[in-house]
Structure 1
């Protein structure tokens, strides 16, 4: 097994605008050809033996890297048909390096990528469908959200070994002291009006009145992932999903505007801790933290039995949550798609899914693994997150090649809203930016394979 970390000095850039994959004038492509020479470094795919599989993955947290390295070793030892060579790319510049490799024809056999990017990769014809490669048994065992995320134009292009969970964490003692009802699941989530009352009741018990952590210290994709669900819960959204041709009347429609005005009001009333030290919740400055599965180990260690996991508020059409995470696809550059699928099949065996879930705390991607997970099985402390994914309470990010521009526009709108710009104005600007991109790309016409 060969393991490399390419371009280890890459810096994190969460602004999707700079890493956008939309195809515009040819000078854009020329600039990426130049970028190819500077970014790709030692990652160029050289001629390899047909029995060798080149696999690229993001260099995430240490536990994830170590687990994937061990999985590759186990796979290589378990069979002799193919040999996986694993290369890690820095997460911050990952998409830019993949784009450079695509332009130069140097993509690996198997590629890991963040969920929403799949649709643009397919549109650029960099991924092949795997419908005829994946076994019916494995497909049936996958979470509905994994299948939903991996589908584009009625074909399946990717699978993941884990998904994400989003909700709120609360301090039970603070909630009880304020006389607040504690929801048990999505069905009895706080309404938006009730949540405003909850914040007021908690603030009355708090020295500075700041009782909510929205992870404003995060950046980039976090804002779309975390707050798109409230738009959908209110009956709005980021774009018209019937044909993905316009954001007008959806992103800047009355329902989306009302939801974001509610969020802006929490900031205006000074309920939200800026959380510059990322410690607002564990240190007890706030009673509620709006965040995902990845903080659970630290929160649980700090709070113990006082920690409670809560659904996001219901803004009118039910409590919604987010979904999506890193997943795997087979590139059009691969000479051995069957061998590539054998590797993905190995990663999705229950023991391997649980190995990765135990390493990064994410929701296991298969029903079999969830049933065996101490955190996510029935009665587990994070059952809410797996239940949301199993019962269609989560919302995928828009499944269109234009997603990089959509998320960039919404991130800009969110930052403007948090800084006091009128919500309607901010969302009008974002909708216009999205529409211009769609027009520039002729509506992102479908591709065929």
Structure 2
């Protein structure tokens, strides 16, 4: 009798276990074998707090289930995109890949990435910032999701603005070009100001120049390429509007309102300059240095409406991944409100989901970084062109900017860049499918 009862109990336990496995796919997959490894490649984080947040997210995911195990690999390559591209042609990409948003098409076009449409629920899509969806979409399909978007604005020293008797601009009423240049002229006379504006030229490695200075071109009516027609750069990157924008940009150096300071990155924090054209990533350092004197302003309106940068690092599942369901499980975990808040609290970026934005201590009404979110929600973000040739566009423009800063002729440098870009487009037959 006791033996029969033992067998019945054992059978009941087995049936309960089977039912539990049926209700939990991750547990079902994990019960049959050792956890499947999900290899994740991420850039070498300059922000220690951000790196800690990603490690924490991976640890939390690994502890939450037994079907998959995330293994992080931190790249130490200076040019991360080139490194990933060189590995992609060998077919040895990991399951999950972090990449800078504007480079998405460069990897989606040759088929290195999986479409995410079937994974992303309608509820999640509705909760995402429009810029996140726009950045992650190529030829009508979603290929990447970012935990955050970027903010680009004018950081200012409130004490210097008051001394120069300048009004504080708002997203609804930004400085005009005339007001912006008047502000720099006035700030140049304020005691303690060595030069009025830092344009962050020291950050000119990688993607900063296209990200930070495309809004200047757009503010004058220019762009990198003809997005609505030929896709070519000739007549656009070196067109009259773009040339006028970069000539004005160059004049700020010639007038002494800004300087080509490459050997240090803390002039604003040290009070040497009153304005800093930069993103969200140094917020913590600047707040510690300036305290209540730190204020975030919108970028100026140069004549075609307020324009700002947008786009940031995002995650994609590669075509080489043997466990796409596992990769999505971790990506879905990264896109949870809690994990988004964890990483954006560390790096100061704009949370990618509206639900997370509302809970952020940095964003929302009265919060110190709300200007970044206001600019994007007002449609001021200027996306970099979603083309497989963007990597070359970025490098060509960056080289032109470096020469322009050094005093070279603006028309000559932009025309040279446009020619390089159009030669690449022609060589790849317009990057058609």
Note if contact 2:192-2:271 (Cα within 8 Å) is conserved in structure 1: no
Aligned residue pairs, count: 398
Cα shift at 1:229: 0.6
* Counterpart Cα distance in 1 of 2:193 and 2:55: 47
**Aligned pairs (5 A) from 1:141-180:** 141-180=127-166
TM-score normalised according to structure 2 size: 0.88
Pick closer, same or farther for the CA change 1:50–1:334 going to 2, 3 Å.
farther
* Counterpart Cα distance in 1 of 2:335 and 2:193: 48
Deviations, residues 252-302 of structure 1 (Å, cap 9, x unaligned)? 111111111111111001111333322211111111111110111111112
- Secondary structure in 2 aligned to 1:273? coil
Cα shift at 1:209: 5.8
Cα shift at 1:90: 1.7
* Counterpart Cα distance in 2 of 1:217 and 1:85: 33
1:195 maps to 180
Aligned structure 1 segments of 4 or more residues deviating by more than 6 angstroms:
none
Verify: 1:307 aligned to 2:294, yes or no. Answer: yes
Deviations, residues 59-107 of structure 1 (Å, cap 9, x unaligned)? 2132222221221111122122322222222251422332232222111
Verify: 1:436 aligned to 2:415, yes or no. Answer: no
What is the root-mean-square deviation of aligned Cα atoms in Å? 1.7
Task: Choose from 326, 329, 332 the match for 1:342.
Answer: 329
Per mean C-alpha deviation after superposition, the further-off stretch among 404-413 and 86-95 is: 86-95
1:291 maps to 278
Cα shift at 1:110: 1.0
* Counterpart Cα distance in 2 of 1:57 and 1:199: 39
Cα shift at 1:184: 2.0
Pick closer, same or farther for the CA change 1:382–1:332 going to 2, 3 Å.
same
TM-score normalised according to structure 1 size: 0.85
2:310 maps to 323
2:215 maps to 229
Pick closer, same or farther for the CA change 1:104–1:197 going to 2, 3 Å.
same
1:381 maps to 368
* Counterpart Cα distance in 2 of 1:84 and 1:296: 30
Verify: 1:210 aligned to 2:195, yes or no. Answer: yes
Look at both structures and tell me which one has the larger radius of gyration over its CA atoms.
2
Cα shift at 1:378: 2.0
Note if contact 1:371-1:378 (Cα within 8 Å) is conserved in structure 2: no
- Secondary structure in 1 aligned to 2:40? strand
Note if contact 2:194-2:272 (Cα within 8 Å) is conserved in structure 1: no
Verify: 1:104 aligned to 2:114, yes or no. Answer: no
Pick closer, same or farther for the CA change 1:88–1:222 going to 2, 3 Å.
same
Pick closer, same or farther for the CA change 1:96–1:257 going to 2, 3 Å.
closer
Note if contact 2:198-2:259 (Cα within 8 Å) is conserved in structure 1: yes
Note if contact 1:211-1:273 (Cα within 8 Å) is conserved in structure 2: no
* Counterpart Cα distance in 2 of 1:195 and 1:205: 16
1:40 maps to none
Structure 1: runs of 5 or more not aligned: 1-47
Note if contact 1:170-1:309 (Cα within 8 Å) is conserved in structure 2: yes
* Counterpart Cα distance in 2 of 1:72 and 1:278: 32
* Counterpart Cα distance in 1 of 2:41 and 2:304: 40
Structure 2: runs of 5 or more not aligned: 1-32
Note if contact 1:203-1:211 (Cα within 8 Å) is conserved in structure 2: yes
